[in-house]
Structures are given as C-alpha cells and as structure tokens.
Amino acid sequence: MPVNPRRVHTLRAAPDGGGPVLYWMSREQRVHDNWGLLHARELAGARRPLVAAFCLVPQFAGAALRQYDFMLRGLEETARTLRGLGIPLVLLEGDPGREVPALAARLRAGAVVTDFDPLRIKRDWQARAAQALDALFLEVDGHNIVPCRIASYKKEYAARTIRPRIHKLLPEFLEEFPTLAPQEAPVPDLPAPDLARARQALRADPGVPPVAVPAGEAAARAALAAFASGALARYAARRNDPNADAVSGLSPYLHFGQLAPQRAALHVAATGGGENQAAFLEELVVRRELSDNFCLHSPDYDTLAAAPDWARRTLDEHRDDPRAHLYAPGAFEAAATHDPLWNAAQNQMRASGGMHGYLRMYWAKKILEWSPDPESALATAIALNDRYQLDGRDPNGYTGILWSVAGLHDRPWGRRPVTGTIRAMTDSGCRRKFDVAAYIRRWGG
C-alpha cells in the first residue's frame, strides 16, 4: 500500500536524479509505523539503495543530559533494527542544515525525505538544507494522523474549530501501517554509528541527570499496551487526578518519535468505543494536532505576540498590579515558593522528568501570578519546562504554556488581579479535584 501522497510535501522541487535515497530522521526516531521512512523505502524500490541518517546537534532548545540520554538510548535500538533490515543509519554531528546536504552529495542521492516538524529550528534546518541540496527534497508528516498541512491551511482558533476538520478527515488517514520491507539493493560502504562515542562527546548539561524511564520503540509499545489494558479504564473519570495513575505517560515516546501517535490511536480504538477511548483520542489526536497547527502557523509560538488580542490586552491592563508573591526564576527552579503544592509539582518534574497534565496547568498559571510581568513568566515557564521535562521542547509544550499564561485557544473568564481575565486555577480548586496532601507527601512541598 503506497503512502498517501497527501502526507508528502515538497521542500525542493528538483528532479529525482535516481541513485540512492536518503531518509533524514529527526522527529520520528523509529523504524516501524514511520510514514517518512516508508515513503523513502517506496522511492528506493528494488534497485536504489536506501540510507538513513540522524544528525546529532550539540545543543537543542535547552535540552540537558536527561533528554539526550533518553534519545540516544532509543537511537541505539533504531540503528540495530534498521541494520536488521539492511538499512544503514549514518550518525552525523553538527549543523543539520550543512551536514545533511553534504552527506547527500557524498552519496549522490537523487532524493532526500525528512520528517514534518513545525518548530522554527527544524524549519530553519530544512530551509538551509533545501538551498544546499542538489536533489528532490520531500517532507512527510509522520506525527499527525491527519497531516498538519492538510487538516487546516490556517491557524485555528480553538479545539472546537479544528475538531470537525480532523474528524472529517480521519477515515482517510487513520489506516493501518504497511510493514517496512528489508533493503534489496546493495548499499554503499558506510561507517556504523558510534552512539557510545557520540554520548561521550556530548556537551549536554549533566546538572539534569538521566531518569530511569525505559527508552526506544519496544519500550514505547510495551507502555502503550500496558496503558490500554490498565489505566485507560480510568481515563475519562480520573485523568485529572495526579494520584490516580489514570494517564498514559506516553508523551516522551511521542515527543522523540519512538511511538507513532497513529499506532497509539489504532491500538486504543481497537479496545472499544467507550468514553475512555473517546476522551483519550480527544487529547492524543485533537489537542495534540492543534498544537502542531498553532506552531506551524505562528512561528512566534514561544512569545506573547502569538497570544490572542484579548489576552494580551488584559495582561497589559494588569501589568502593574501588586503581586501577593514575587519570585525570581531561580526560586521557581529551586521549588522555593510559599505554596507546597506548586513546589511538589516542580519537585516531581525535576526528579522524574515528568509532571501530571493537570498540574502542568496549575504550575504555569502560578508562574504568571508570581512573576514581575507576563513576559518573564512565559520565559521562566518555557525555560524550566524545556530543561527538566523529558517531553519538553515540543509543540505541545509551547502551546500548553501559552494556553496557561496567555489565553491561547481559550476565552476570557472572570477578572482577577494580575492575571486579568485569563482563566484562573486555585489551590482550593485542586483540593476539590484530588488529594493534594497525598500528592505533597509523595513529592515533598
């Protein structure tokens, strides 16, 4: 079954000159269920060699050793699985905008295929690669079930505006994946990726140490299966309770592309059509794909300029309101606020590389309340999220933070000091939803 051509977007419309096909893996760091790799394999057919490459950049959007460690553990498995299929993985290091075209030239590649990603840094790499390449250059959306460029041609206002578009297109795109066929053509002689050496050469900040979360495709599949046969049964009723073990914990696997969102959707949908499945698919498909839509159409996704007008206005009107509590970024980072619940959430993130979704909203909204101005609140929330979360540096993160502090995809609520009409969350509201004391006991406030 060929890859749906509506998943494919041309980045450089040069003629495909034949010769090897290069798959530049970046956002989708997996072998199975990967539309980009499948499309590259399709172009290669029986006669053209297919080569995969991953370019390791020394510093990526505030990532520390924790995230590089998780990514490299996953890539070791990816390289092994590819080798089993006769597809070499080349490990490049440095600036992908230069290194990928240089490899393509060395291989005399006729076509290069890469992953869709709405983040600015990726689009910059791709734009520079497109200029330097002398080959057909294609992008394939392997992250969104309904490809982001097809779901909508513009920035959507809210979940309610993108939801009907996505639901209408799901029958076309929510299909089973074909199996990746082993390489048939002889491949050029290429050095095997030395990930252990790359790990040693990394300059990532060891101040945020690795966490003991199993990484890679097999671990991701196991986590999906465990969720679908366990916590999914509690998802609709308990997903907002951080003590309930009712969410999937799949976001690191999705972020690093070790699991296809489409695989997760197919697996969960196959367990039935009840309220748990519906609630989970709303988050996994509609909310997640809304984040990619936002980042694709708002390249300033990490600034207040991307917030709705009403939100910027209300934040400005309340800019000079006295703050009941005021903290510098270092106090937030050290979990040294007056609020044990906030501190416990920060501790959870620092220690485990994750924070429950309900508390992420509370966490970011309090940073807005306790910072000197909305600009520094946004900067603090993004910096901490990207430094400590295993799944940080993701369109979901930039979107979730802007939703929390600047009304993105939301509407005005009752007016309050400092936050104006941005939706508020309170400690007493949390106490009504879950056992706050138990959460604080667990993570220390």
Phi, psi (5° rounding) for residue 22?
Answer: -110, 125
- Which residue in the set 8, 26, 400, 430 belongs to the binding site for ligand FO1 (CB under 6 A)? 26
> What minimum distance in Å lies between the beta carbon of 26 and ligand FO1?
3
- In this complex, which beta carbon is closest to ligand FO1, that of residue 256 or of residue 332? 256
Q: Which of 144, 380, 396, 421 binds ligand FAD (CB under 6 A)?
A: 396
* 71 forms part of the interface with ligand FO1 (CB under 6 A): yes
Provide the sign of the torsion angle of the four alpha carbons 40, 287, 232, 222, taken in this order: positive
Q: List the interface residues with ligand FAD, window 81-140 (CB under 6 A).
A: none
- Would you say 303 and 378 are in contact if contact means Cβ atoms under 8 Å apart? yes
| Dihedrals phi, psi of 382, to nearest 5 degrees | -65, -45
404 binds, among ligand FAD, ligand FO1, none (CB under 5 to 8 A by kind): ligand FAD
Phi first, then psi: what are they for 49, rounded to 5°? -65, 140
Start-to-end CA span in the chain (Å):
54
Least distance to ligand FAD, CB of residue 437, Å: 22
- CA separation for the pair 359, 361 (Å, rounded): 5
**Is residue 60 part of the contact set for ligand FO1 (CB under 6 A)?**
yes
Q: How many CA atoms lie within 13 A of 233 on its CB side?
A: 4
Select from 24-32, 130-138, 193-201, 393-401 the region that touches ligand FAD (CB under 6 A): 393-401
* CB-based contacts of 150, cutoff 8 Å, min separation 6: 6, 7, 169
- Residue 145 binds ligand FAD, judged by CB under 6 A: no
- Residues 26 and 91: their CA atoms lie apart, in Å, by 11
Count of residues that bind ligand FAD according to CB under 6 A: 28
Q: Which does 71 bind (CB under 5 to 8 A by kind): ligand FAD, ligand FO1, none?
A: ligand FO1
Which of 30, 39, 287, 366 touches ligand FAD by CB under 6 A? Answer: 287
Rg of the Cα atoms in the chain: 22
Closest approach of ligand FAD to the CB of residue 281, in Å = 9
- The CB-of-401 to ligand FO1 minimum distance in angstroms stands at 14
Q: Which stretch binds ligand FAD (CB under 6 A): 81-89, 177-185, 282-290, 342-350?
A: 282-290
Token duo for residue 372: 């000197």
Among 26, 78, 126, 291, binds ligand FAD (CB under 6 A): 291
